Structure 1
C-alpha cells in the first residue's frame, strides 16, 4: 500500500494478463557525481496490487537524478516465459522537492512502456 506522503512511487502491470505484476523486484538508485555513480536507496518487490513498498517523504528527496531498476528477466522466468529484456531501467530527474512522482511500468515479455503519472 502507498503512503499518503509518498514522493517517488511506481507500480507494474503485466500486459499479457492485464493484471498487476506480482513479485517483480524493484530497486531505487540515486545517480551521483560526474560519472553518475549509483547509490542504492531502496529495494523491494511488487505485491498483489503491482505496487512495491517504495516510498519517500518529500523531505527525504533531493533534486537530482534517480533510477528505478526492474528485474524483468527473473519475473518472466518465474512465470515460465522467455523475455527479451533482462531488466528495465527508468532514469528520471527530480527538479522540485514538492512534486509527487509516480512512474508506472506496463510490461510484456517482449515490450515495455513507462510514463510519468501525476
Structure 2
C-alpha cells in the first residue's frame, strides 16, 4: 500500500499507546475547505485518506477531533479539538505530521 502525500499518527502519552478511532480532517488553508478526512486505525495512524488528493506548495491544516475519543473512554480532556498548521514547500516530498497527545497538552513534529 502506498502512503498518501500527507500522513499522521497519534500517540496517547497518558498510556503510551496509539490513539485509535480519532477523526481527522485535512484542509488546504487557501481554500478553507477540507480536502480529505479519515479515522485513525488501530495503530493510531492515517496512511490513506477516504479520498485521494494531490498536494501543492502552501499551508495545510490537520484538524483532530479528540473530544469524542476521550468521551468514549469516559475521560476528560482540556483540548476538545487540536489544529496543526504546517507548510508544504516541496509537493514531491512526503509529509508526516504526528501528534503526541495527553489530556492536558500535546506536541508535534515533522516525522518521516
TM norm structure 1: 0.85
Q: How many residue pairs were aligned?
A: 111
What is the rounded CA distance, in whole Å, between the counterparts of 2:51 and 2:11 in structure 1?
22
Cα RMSD of the aligned pairs, angstroms, is: 1.9
Instruction: State the partner residue of 1:83.
Output: 77
Write the deviation string for residues 64-88 of structure 1: whole angstroms up to 9, x where unpaired: 1110000111111111111100111
1:40 equivalent in alignment to 2:50: no
1:20 equivalent in alignment to 2:14: no
Q: Which runs of 4+ in 1 moved over 4 A?
A: none
What is the rounded CA distance, in whole Å, between the counterparts of 1:21 and 1:105 in structure 2?
10
Kept in 2: contact 1:7–1:56 (CA 8 A): no
Selected match of 2:97 from 96, 103, 106: 103
Alignment gaps of 5+ in structure 1: none
What is the rounded CA distance, in whole Å, between the counterparts of 2:100 and 2:92 in structure 1?
26
Following TM superposition, by how much is the alpha carbon of 1:54 offset from its aligned partner in structure 2, in angstroms?
A: 2.8
Write the deviation string for residues 15-54 of structure 1: whole angstroms up to 9, x where unpaired: 111111011110000111xxxx511011111110111233
Write the deviation string for residues 63-116 of structure 1: whole angstroms up to 9, x where unpaired: 111100001111111111111001110001111111111000111111111100
SS in 2 for 1:38: coil
Within-5 A mapping of 1:53-64: 53-54=48-49, 60-64=54-58
Kept in 2: contact 1:8–1:55 (CA 8 A): no
Alignment gaps of 5+ in structure 2: none
